[in-house]
Amino acid sequence: MTGVFNEEDGLELHCERKPHVSIGKIVTKVPVVLAELKLQIHVSETITFPEPVLEIKDIKKRVHLTQCRLLLPSKKLFIKGFVRKNIQYASPCSEIEMPTDKSVASDLHSFTVDVPFEQVTEIKDFLSMPVMPKNNTREEFDFVRSKSLPEGFPEKDQHISSDISQYHQESSQFYNELPYCELLSSRIVEWDEALDRMPLPGKAPFHEGYFTKIEEKMVLDICVNVLQKQQIRVASTSNGD
């Protein structure tokens, strides 16, 4: 036993060191890794800035997945998301100082944009096979009904059929476990190039210019785990250390 002092109540609480562990063959339900995939996604996008850009200083990127769906009973995996890009750039500012043939004044701004991507791939080799969904069922049944016939039919004859004024049905629903994904890692290689770069107006260094649009080409490598909660059997022979 170990003692822990509780300042609020001024009491010493005793906690057991060893938790109770069931012994034997036990069925539990845990996430099971179905596949670990390395995917490469190609993205091409045009980004328009809200003001003239003298130069890009830095770009911070973060990958977001909005959909990762294994479409059972097929092997197709649908991936959808976006890359959040925070672009820090210098914008020419004549309010600070008018440009000269040797200098250009600018101030630092940032622009955040989401670049979407999506891809469909096929899982060819499963580490563990997924539990396939069970189909819901719905079956209709009837009961026989006999009744007397009206005049014009033999007295001993009966009208035998199902009763259309009644409806009987048996249905079942299965609540299957949906596979899901974990994003493990990402790697981005990008190329950004100005589309409309022009010289600065007025008196300015000849090599300086500004632009408002860039074309971005990006190669996105991501690694994901595809998981599904499944029942598995575990064994324990002792609840000792």
pLDDT for residue 67 is more than 90: yes
C-alpha of 35 from chain center: 15
pLDDT for residue 130 is more than 70: yes
* In-domain check, residue 153: no
Q: Which domain holds residue 194?
A: 16-123+177-235
pLDDT at 207: 78
* In-domain check, residue 42: yes
Instruction: Please state, in angstroms and as integers, the Cα–Cα distance from residue 137 to each residue in 48, 107, 170, following that order.
Output: 53, 66, 8
**Rounded to whole angstroms, how far apart are CA atoms 88 and 112?**
9
**Rounded to whole angstroms, how far apart are CA atoms 67 and 13?**
46
Count of Cβ atoms closer than 10 Å to residue 167 Cβ = 9
Q: Is 226 left (phi over 0), alpha (psi -120 to 50) or beta?
A: beta
Residue 69: pLDDT band by 50, 70, 90 thresholds? Answer: very high
Return the higher-pLDDT residue of 26 and 16.
26
**Rounded to whole angstroms, how far apart are CA atoms 76 and 58?**
37
pLDDT at 7: 57
**Rounded to whole angstroms, how far apart are CA atoms 67 and 83?**
13
Give the chain's domain count: 1
* Highest mean pLDDT out of 97-111, 186-200, 226-240: 186-200
Q: What pTM was computed for the model?
A: 0.75
Instruction: Please state, in angstroms and as integers, the Cα–Cα distance from residue 117 to each residue in 6, 19, 39, 63, 204, following that order.
Output: 52, 47, 12, 10, 40
* In-domain check, residue 103: yes
Instruction: Please state, in angstroms and as integers, the Cα–Cα distance from residue 218 to each residue in 45, 115, 118, following that order.
Output: 8, 10, 13
Q: What is the 3-state secondary structure of the chain?
A: CEEEEECCCCEEEEECCCCCCCCEEEEEEEEEEEEEEEEEEEEEEEEEEEEEECEEEEEEEEEEEEEEEECCCCCEEEEEEEEEEEEEEEEECCCCCCCCCCCCCEEEEEEEEEEEEEEEEECCCCCCCCCCCCCCEEEEECCEEEEECCCCCCCCCEEEEECCCCCEEEEECCCCCCCEEEEEEEEEEEEEEECCCEECCCCCCCCCEEEEEEEEEEEEEEEEEEEEEEEEEEEECCCCC
* In-domain check, residue 108: yes
Mean pLDDT (whole number) for 44-69: 94
86 phi/psi in degrees, rounded to 5: -105, 110
pLDDT at 145: 80
Mean pLDDT (whole number) for 59-83: 95
* In-domain check, residue 149: no
* In-domain check, residue 137: no
* In-domain check, residue 224: yes
* In-domain check, residue 160: no
Residue 187: pLDDT band by 50, 70, 90 thresholds? Answer: very high
According to DSSP, the residues that pair with 186 across neighbouring strands are 222
pLDDT at 5: 55
Residue 38: pLDDT band by 50, 70, 90 thresholds? Answer: very high
Mean pLDDT (whole number) for 43-69: 94
